[in-house]
Amino acid sequence: MTRRTFLQTAAAATVAAASPRVQRNQVPWYRRAYRWGQTNITEKDPARYDIVWWRQQWKRTEVQAVIINAGGIVAYYPSRFPLHHQAEFLGGRDLFGELTTAAHEDGLFVMARMDSNRTADDFFRAHPDWFARDLNGQPYRAADKYIACINSAYYDDYLPDILREIIDRSHPDGFTDNSWAGMGREAICYCQNCERRFHDRAGGPLPRKADWDDRSYRDWIEWSYARRLEVWDLNNRVTRDAGGPDCIWAGMNSGSVTAQARSFRDLRQIAARASIMMLDHQRRDDDTGFQQNGDTGKRVHELLGWDKLAPESMAMYESGPGYYRVASKPAAEARMWMIAGIAGGIQPWWHYVGAYHEDRRMYRTPGPVMSWCKANEMYLVNRTPVATVGLAWSQRNTDFFGRDDPAERVDAPYTGLMHALVRARIPYVPVNLDDLDRDSTRLTTLVLPNIGAVSDAHVGAVRRFVQNGGSLVATGQTGMYDEWGDPRADFALADLYRCRRGVPAPPLRDAPRPPPQSQHTYLRLAPELRARVDGPRSGDEPPIVGERHPVLRGFDETDILAYGGTLSSLSTEAGVVVPLTFVPPFPTYPPETAWMREPRTTIPGLVLSEHDRARVAFMPADIDRRYAREHLPDHAQLLSNVVRWAAGDLPLAVEGPGLIDCHLYEQPGRLVLHLVNLTSEGTWRAPVDELIPVGPLRVRVPASMTRARVRLLIAPGEPRVRMEQGLAEFTIRSILDHEVAVLT
Ligand SMILES: [Zn+2]
């Protein structure tokens, strides 16, 4: 042990004794920090930070951990590194140190906030070889700053020194970093470090441009991912060596897989390393809704483990669609994002930008939710979802199938299916395809929403799942490409779909586009199963022969469904059921032309088959994507009908009005059911201004899972439970924003 490391270890030991992170039990602090707060300050704030008031706000909002700006682009303490830019109004003050001391005195844990991937001109001139360069050797800029290259000594030496300095001075409990992953996929760095390191790894020069079909670009993508994991590991070694084993470095991650992919942050690999998952995912957008936060919570915990914590930064300022950093977000909007996340297992973390606000309404927003969380903490952590439907995803699919259009190819199909499941109140968990073998025993049904790029390993796992009796719902182009996005000769799962293309998939660069808006397409409900008719007759309808298939439930009075996509011919095996066929495009305008040129084809929109104990639904029609885009209720109904047909019995039924996001969990000896009321005039357009109660809601769970007692954590009272026909049933009279029912 060198003298330097001895001193660091000794200092860390002293700190550990004084810090609240070592307490009554041996559970590390990052497993006990359930409520978070962050005043994310500006360079002006050292001159006006009212620490006394903010300590009161910590107390009022019951936070247990705070995130305090330390260094990176801007230092909030007098750093000994002359190029570490100190806040313009710092005036020699050690604001970070003062706040850290105050928080520790108040019994709070402290994460030092870093924001580190760019610098001012003086730094660039001192270390020109630490900065990202374009193909012409010119530095990449972000506004007036220069972007540091992740393969340079800025990350290997300089930032670790800054981390050690902060630990030596102020002893935070851990670190976050907003920009730790460096420059994203949008640009390739050609600096000397990158040229050399990439050559060492790939044996050739850096790719000249982004080209998903080019071997060197693919290598560059994988190499870039690997470097982020190296940085993650390096930073953790640095902070733990200097600050003790629990002084973790937690970076920052997004709740969006596409955002993770853009910045080479492999959510699954990171979760495998992380002690806690710090999420920068501050608000909803109109396309994905509040329910996306519940989905994020479940996705992250499925990777991280349900015993670990996933706090999420939640904007208390107006953050979308307009962006007003110092104005209050409508309280109902901020509250619903918090509640939706908590239902998915996320820990709330209020976030303000700046330490002084003239719009003071935002200070009142988080308190009630945080107090409720404190009172009900035992029901909100260390629980596992009760769900038999898995909604599959894979970050590699986002990269190599999504390529330059992941929103359309990957996100929209996933979101459409997620929305359909939420609308139908079908409990589900997001399943990473790499974990399918692990997860397969608790699932009855796997849904593959347009997972175009699947590896042979994924194909093998899906096949094992079905062989073991699991049902499958696959949509769109699932399985048409390999893990690089190269066309396969046919669907990789053609034997399970019981249908074939007969020709290889087109290269992704030539992928067909949906028809223009001047054309419309439809799906025809299988004519031989046509139901009764009450309407005009054209004289050429086929005869009525029987009941329609259960996947067409609710469509008795129509023979067509609006579609909007395109389909091509498939050959199906004998014995499959094809309940929907394609009606090709015909004009929408002028109205005189809007008649079907080809009313009937044999092109399947949905192919159903039975395999021993398993059911397989292959839906070539991209109804999931269409639902995400157009919100036609028929599309949601069709998707949920198909999942119900595949899944059979479900562990939860909730009947009653409204859009309710349902999350069912198990803890030893009890069930915990979150019902989040998303019914509002602002459901599909932020912000929500008014919460509208809905009810009554009739809830049923299998009687085998409960013992007939229900307690509600929002509305006072214990609804009566009726045990009938193997089901436990109770009624919740009304829900304003959310309700949590504990069944024992
Ligand atoms: Zn570089």
- pLDDT, one tens digit per residue, over 284-340 is 999 999 999 999 999 999 999 999 999 999 999 999 888 999 999 999 999 999 999
Ligand 1 centre to CA of 111 (Å) is 29
Tokens of 569: 């011919």
φ, ψ for residue 80, nearest 5 deg? -80, -5
Task: Render 587-650 in DSSP notation, one character per residue.
Answer: E-SSGGG-S-SS-----EEEEEEEETTEEEEEE-S-HHHHHHHH--HHHHHHHHHHHHHHH-S-
- pLDDT tens track for 629-685: 999 999 999 999 999 999 999 999 999 999 999 999 999 999 999 999 999 999 999
Ligand 1 centre to CA of 235 (Å) is 19
What is the reported pLDDT for 529? 52
**CA distances (Å), 271 to each of 275, 306, 665, in order?**
8, 12, 21
Determine the Cα–Cα distance for residues 16 and 654; give it in Å rounded to an integer.
49
**Is 373 exposed, middle or buried, given 0-12, 13-18 or 19+ CB atoms closer than 10 A?**
buried
Ligand 1 centre to CA of 149 (Å) is 4
Ligand 1 centre to CA of 640 (Å) is 48
Ligand 1 centre to CA of 202 (Å) is 15
Ligand 1 centre to CA of 181 (Å) is 13
Ligand 1 centre to CA of 220 (Å) is 12
pTM: 0.94
CB distance 525 to 558 below 8 Å: yes
Average of per-residue pLDDT across 496-500: 98
Ligand 1 centre to CA of 144 (Å) is 19
Ligand 1 centre to CA of 60 (Å) is 46
- Residue pointed to by tokens 């259960």: 550
For the chain, the farthest-separated pair of C-alpha atoms sits apart, in whole angstroms, at 95
Ligand 1 centre to CA of 251 (Å) is 20
Ligand 1 centre to CA of 147 (Å) is 10
Half-sphere exposure of residue 573: CA atoms within 13 angstroms, side-chain side: 13
Ligand 1 centre to CA of 42 (Å) is 29
Half-sphere exposure of residue 36: CA atoms within 13 angstroms, side-chain side: 33
Ligand 1 centre to CA of 192 (Å) is 7
Ligand 1 centre to CA of 196 (Å) is 9
Ligand 1 centre to CA of 182 (Å) is 10
Tokens of 436: 């399918």
Residue type, 319: S
Q: Identify the band that residue 3 occupies on the pLDDT scale cut at 50, 70 and 90.
A: very low
**Is 186 exposed, middle or buried, given 0-12, 13-18 or 19+ CB atoms closer than 10 A?**
exposed
Contacts of 98 (CB under 8 A, 6+ apart): 51
Ligand 1 centre to CA of 655 (Å) is 56
Helix (H/G/I), strand (E/B), else coil: 314: strand
pLDDT at 44 over 80: yes
Ligand 1 centre to CA of 715 (Å) is 57
Number of CB atoms found within 10 A of residue 692's CB: 16
Ligand 1 centre to CA of 194 (Å) is 4
**CA distances (Å), 642 to each of 417, 420, 617, 622, in order?**
11, 11, 7, 13
Average of per-residue pLDDT across 572-594: 96
- Residue pointed to by tokens 């029912």: 741
Tokens of 300: 């992250």
- pLDDT tens track for 155-200: 999 999 999 999 999 999 999 999 999 999 999 999 999 999 999 9
Ligand 1 centre to CA of 248 (Å) is 27
Bridge-based pairing of strands 614-619 and 471-475 is: parallel
Ligand 1 centre to CA of 152 (Å) is 7
Ligand 1 centre to CA of 157 (Å) is 15
pLDDT at 14 over 70: no
Ligand 1 centre to CA of 628 (Å) is 38
Average of per-residue pLDDT across 575-580: 96
Ligand 1 centre to CA of 441 (Å) is 45
Catalogue the E-assigned strands of 274-341. Answer: 279-280, 311-315, 317-318, 324-328
- Residue pointed to by tokens 């390191």: 197
Average of per-residue pLDDT across 72-94: 97
Ligand 1 centre to CA of 126 (Å) is 16
Contacts of 137 (CB under 8 A, 6+ apart): 190
